[in-house]
Homo-oligomer: A and B are copies of this chain.
Amino acid sequence: MARYNSFTSEEISAELAAVNAAYQGFKAKGLKLNMARGKPSAEQLDLSRPMLEVLGEEANLTSSDGTDCANYGGLSGIPEAKQLLARLLNDDPENIIAGGSSSLTLMFDAIARLWTFGTEGNAPWGTLERVKWLCPSPGYDRHFAICETFGMELIPVPLTDEGPDMDMVEQLIAVDPSIKGIWCVPQYSNPTGIVYSSQVVNRLASMACAAPDFRIFWDNAYSVHHLYPQHPVQVADIAAACVAAGNPNRYLKFASTSKITFPGAGISGLAASPSNIQEALKVMGIQMVGPDKLNQLRHGRFLSTDEALQNHMASHGKLLAPKFQLVDRKLSEGLKGTVECSWSSPQGGYFISFEAPAGTAKRIVALAKDAGVQLTGAGATWPYGQDPKDSNIRIAPSMPPLDELDQAMDVFVTCVKLAALEQLAE
């Protein structure tokens, strides 16, 4: 079939009728499918079931440094957890705080500390007239929501295939001291799946910032989440780059095991400079006695070697890769040559980023919802939920079984066509 936008108006009417009939057919099925969030599937969760046996009634609950994990104490976490998180964060265990079950909480709390207490003697951000934040877009809605909640002004920055548009970033941060930070998902970015180039990492580390307390929030959420473990990638280390550039306190690295073991019941980590770690611990020591060390011990013992972690992630990859391949095939078969669109083919992570014809993303998501297929809200990948082109849709293929994903993608493709044709028919 030819491209829709080369159709005559009669051809559009005819195709619209045909696609609409197909859509109504899907609607009549009363489907209930979900591709909204990056949730691991039941099969993936089963991979970590053996971890539930690691700490049984007779287990030794003492960590390698002699800490009783069943009692109070140990603010920065136990060695076993720091070792595992060091693998995820590409850092040394001594630079790491091993936290609770949510890296999102580590990020929120890091901003909350900067907001209320400031850093390195600079004014707390909450006392400033305005605070701005760079948001490479499309990006992760929960990141943006944290900044919105604190009342920051969010500045979208285009995300290229190599990372944020660094010319724009450098121009902005060089002159505006109210720009205090940037969100980065540097490897298998959410949602486009790109990996920051070494050049981008170095420019982020070395750029001249008007704000002395500018911070890179480096959410390396997918550092070991390869779809094809035989070809793993590893983004350049922001810590090493910042140290080399003479800006050792510029970065905060985050990771968690949520998509390694159990989402919401894993462990999280923050890696940063000694100064940043000390500042964090000072407040965290008031906020808590310490993290859940039993769960840290469970994780550290379950994934106690590089090899154990690699094998475990390879098993995840084996379950995930066919789903990403199915989505890619369905999009190719259904849309190539007809609708003006594009999508990412990531080598890891949890998402496929779909670029629909401008002005149709909201309509596509609404159509899919009416046909029983839940997608991430259109616009969610942009600050304030406002996608300027109304074109980006995040597809999360991990959760549904393959047969459901197959159906959901048929619905999706039909919705994309329908929205494109509706637009052309206007």
Contacts and interface: CB of A to CB of B under 8 A. Distances in A.
Interface of A: 37, 39-40, 42, 45, 48-50, 52-53, 55-59, 68-74, 100-102, 104-105, 108-109, 112, 115-117, 126, 142, 145-146, 149-150, 258, 262-265, 283, 286-295
Contacts of A290: 264
A108 B287 CA distance: 5
Given A100-B101, A149-B283, A293-B265, A72 B112 contact: no
A53 B112 CA distance: 37
11 contacts: A53-B56, A53-B57, A70-B262, A108-B286, A108-B288, A109-B287, A116-B126, A264-B289, A264-B292, A265-B295, A295-B295
Nearest to A37: B72
Given A52-B59, A73-B264, A292-B292, 19 more contacts: A37-B72, A39-B71, A45-B71, A52-B55, A52-B56, A52-B294, A53-B56, A70-B262, A72-B258, A100-B292, A104-B287, A104-B289, A108-B286, A149-B286, A262-B294, A264-B289, A265-B293, A265-B295, A295-B295
B72 A39 contact: yes
Given A109-B287, A286-B145, A287-B108, A263 B72 contact: yes
Nearest to A107: B287
A291 B283 CA distance: 21
A30 B287 CA distance: 35
A363 to B, nearest CB: 27
A109 B287 CA distance: 8
Contacts of A57: 49-50, 52-53
Nearest to A112: B112
Nearest to A145: B286
Contacts of A264: 71-74, 289-293
Contacts of A104: 287-289
Contact of A69 (B50, B105, B265): B265
B292 A265 contact: yes
A116 B125 CA distance: 11
A126 B115 CA distance: 10
Nearest to A45: B70
A114 B42 CA distance: 39
A40 B74 CA distance: 16
Contact of A101 (B45, B116, B149, B291): B291
